[in-house]
Chain A
Amino acid sequence: MQPDPSRERPDHNIAMWGAPGSGKTTLLAALFIALTKRDDDWKIIGSDPASSDYLIEKTNALLRGKLFPEASMALERYHWTLIGPAVRKPGFWGRKAKPGPPARIGIGMIDAPGGLFGTGRRPAGGPSAPDGSGDPRRQELLDNLEQSRGIVFLYDPIREFTFGDAFDHMHAPLTRLAERMLAAGEFADGKLPHHIAVCVTKFDDPRVLETAERRRLLSVDIDDPYRLPRVTSEDARELFHELCQVSASGNADMVLKSLDQFFHPDRIRFFATSSIGFYVDRRTKRFDWDDFQNMVPGEADEDSRIRGRLHPINVVEPMLWLGQRLAAIRPATGVS
């Protein structure tokens, strides 16, 4: 009898981190959809009933109601397991390979009110504090970051253009995390031991796409039937850098510098992501440069709505990259 993979301890843990409203919840819901659309066997399963319910609710909202998931207003903690295809162990002495247990990557998200670590410049439902000490909610976020070796960091360039608070939300927890890791003797090479996937969100926004186009960072996957534009991970750092130039506070470049200070270059990777993707006309089935927005703004008292089908971009890739890199460092069952 095979054990329930979702109940088993994950091989690796990934923490999702980002300013309030940066799209963590939407990314999770889009991850489920993006995995379902793939031909491989990756899937995401809740590690507990609350996390499963949360995932089901947000995914359904995205799919059927076409409502954007609301930003969380209370501290919530969720865990899911990303389960991959079983890895075949090589047989010895000519024996037939045996299927091994599937890859498992734990994903933790502390879905917290805004201002948890911010300066309170734009609180989103909870009190703010000048630093990260004392508050148990902050401790929990730090615990999650400390226990994970992979981080998905969401950077919302539109929010940064409007509020310019990305560095505020990053600085304090990063400093506290470094403090903990140093105390634990895990600051060996002068860097945090974590791998970090920096996701530049809202790639579907015209301002972001046009920035990428202006810098000639766009490419199209020849296998993509919709011909959706993408930015490769190699070019995503430049896009990130370019978008930092229009920060409302002017502090966005400090986000990039902090990433370089605290994370080893080999352990950072940038992704231009979009949870909803671009609009593709059902009749033409092709990306149209004249009409690609996939979001219809709502009335004053309504949330925005998704216009057409979802085409998540670079939603699965950060998770799998982290899984691969973590597996390479501390192989357990392997990640394919």
Chain B
Amino acid sequence: MPEPDRDLNRKAIAQALADLADTDRLTLVEVAADGVVTFLLHRDDNGRPHGRSWSATWPDLAGERGWDARTREAVLRTARASSSSADVILVAASSADPRAEQALAWLRAAHPAAQVLRTEAPIAALIREVIADDPLTRSYELVVVLADSAAGRPRLTSRQLFPLGSRPGARTRVALRCEAAGAHGTAFAVVTWQGPKPRLLSVQSAPVAPGRYEVTAELVRPGRVRFTGLPALSPDPRDWDQLVAALPDRPAGGAGPTHLVCAVEVCGADDQVAERLSRARQMISSASGGLGDLLRVSLLAYAAHSYDLSAPEFPVRVAAWETGAGEALNALGALEEQGAVARGYPYHPHAAQLEDMLAVVVERLGRADPTPAVILTVGGRPPHPARTDQSRILPCPHRHDWRKLITALGQRQSTVLGAICDQPADQAHQAWHRIGAAALAHLEAVDVRGLAADLGLVAPSPVHFPFPLLDETE
């Protein structure tokens, strides 16, 4: 059954609470049958209302001496209200007790502008209801990580969950991506903004498996947000500074869209060719794991030059160009099935068509394309010189100059040269040190993940993200 006074009182208190500024206090003094109860309401840094109360019975106020002037002082002291009557609400309970009437009179005299509410029941429950139902005075936002490819490092931002004025019971859905988060798990931190700095409202965490999540956030009450669609969350012991400090300074994968060009020497001993192709496969897979759909892959195969017109050579083959990793791996599989090509005379035994491969890459990459490129060469033989020199390696039949071609690649924006060589670095032909200028690894001892990290294809070590990432596919 509706209680008209109660509803009016509720509206009055709610309005007073809504008008309460951050630095103000709202005092409700209830004069009940057994004494005076004071409620002091305020908002915290997040705009969330808090209340506390204290009370004094008539005997406490009057003592053994009976009602006198000192009792009035005691009543006003219990109210602890400021001189500003605008923030004071007096609540008078229905009572025939003359002490209550006297106390109310003293309080009204002290706060003549104070609103006076009449109530049949204690006001505490109503105040709790009003606080719990208080609409948000600030937007609640979830802290997320944004993998900013331009900046090259992750940065924090927030995604709004509940706008200003939202009330408990409001729900919102958000798509998130979680990465490995370390020992504390992924933190779901809700903040409000007051000026340029966020204020942490709540933080709960749980070990969440990396992946995409459709999360529902529900505003339970001011200051309390419940997340569903995730493993059970528990309070996170870290403060804001600790959480921010846990943010890595580099992305989990590559910085952004990357074009991996894998060129594999497919001449020589069968097992060695198989090993080179296997390393290329590992590199493509590793880069794909770090970059996902941001990775484009090209695959080239090259062999040895023939120096006999009657024995046509195996030309540089572009097995895949700017495809997804899966398609490139399929093309690699075809090369693995084909195995080594062009053994023995008239194929040159000590050099390969590296320079021809570089010419194809330079021509295809183009200088205008701004996509960062990683050129990974896997082989062992040096390139042919452009003309006869003291190396005694026969010159390239097409007169390609590997030095000029590498210089051209070096001048291309965001182009990194890496190599996996059959020989260790101290025994590799000097050309391999330029072909693998950014990273040169030995075929038999290559740390594929480390090499991928050196080339910027994956993070150097596991990266822990304390917060979820905003799903960029949304």
Contact = CB atoms under 8 A, between A and B. Distances in A.
Decide whether A and B assemble into one complex: yes
A272 to B, nearest CB: 17
A205 B308 CA distance: 20
Interface string A60-98: 000000000000000000000000000000000000000
Of A205, A210, A291, the most chain B CB neighbours within 10 A belong to A291
Interface stretch (B100-108, B221-229, B286-294, B389-397): B389-397
A291 B388 CA distance: 5
A273 B12 CA distance: 116
Interface in B315-364: 344-346, 348-350
A183 B159 CA distance: 110
B145 to A, nearest CB: 55
B382 to A, nearest CB: 13
Contacts of A207: 390
Contacts of B389: 206
Contacts of A282: 309
Interface stretch (A3-11, A30-38, A250-258, A293-301): A293-301
B387 interface: yes
B392 A205 contact: yes
A210 B392 contact: no
A159 interface: no
Categorize the interface residue count of chain A. Answer: 10 to 19
Contacts of A206: 388-390, 392
A291 B387 contact: yes
B240 interface: no
Interface in A283-313: 289-293, 296-300, 302, 305, 307
Of A206, A207, A302, the most chain B CB neighbours within 10 A belong to A206
B399 interface: yes
Contacts of B309: 282
Contact of B399 (A210, A289, A290, A307): A290
A173 B399 CA distance: 48
B-side interface mostly: loop
A300 B344 CA distance: 10
Contact of A298 (B307, B345, B386, B399): B345
Interface string A246-272: 000000000000000000000000000
Interface in B383-418: 386-390, 392, 394-395, 399
Given A296-B345, A296-B346, A297-B349, A290 B386 contact: yes
Of B308, B349, B395, B399, the most chain A CB neighbours within 10 A belong to B349
Given A293-B392, A296-B345, A307 B387 contact: no
A296 B394 contact: yes
A292 B388 contact: yes
A328 B307 CA distance: 47
Contact of B388 (A290, A298, A302, A305): A290
A290 B349 contact: no
Given A290-B386, A291-B387, A305-B345, A296 B392 contact: no
A290 B392 contact: no
Contacts of A205: 392
A291 B392 contact: no
B349 A298 contact: yes
Contact of B390 (A210, A290, A296, A302): A210
A302 B119 CA distance: 110
A302 B386 CA distance: 26
A299 B386 CA distance: 22
Q: 9 shortest A-B CB distances, which residue pairs?
A: A290-B387, A299-B349, A291-B395, A307-B307, A206-B388, A206-B390, A296-B307, A207-B390, A305-B345
Interface of B: 307-309, 344-346, 348-350, 386-390, 392, 394-395, 399
Given A206-B388, A206-B392, A305-B345, 7 more contacts: A206-B390, A282-B309, A290-B395, A291-B394, A296-B346, A298-B349, A299-B349
25 contacts: A205-B392, A206-B389, A206-B390, A206-B392, A290-B387, A290-B399, A291-B394, A292-B388, A293-B388, A293-B394, A293-B395, A296-B346, A296-B348, A296-B394, A297-B350, A297-B392, A298-B345, A299-B344, A299-B349, A302-B344, A305-B346, A307-B307, A307-B308, A307-B346, A307-B394
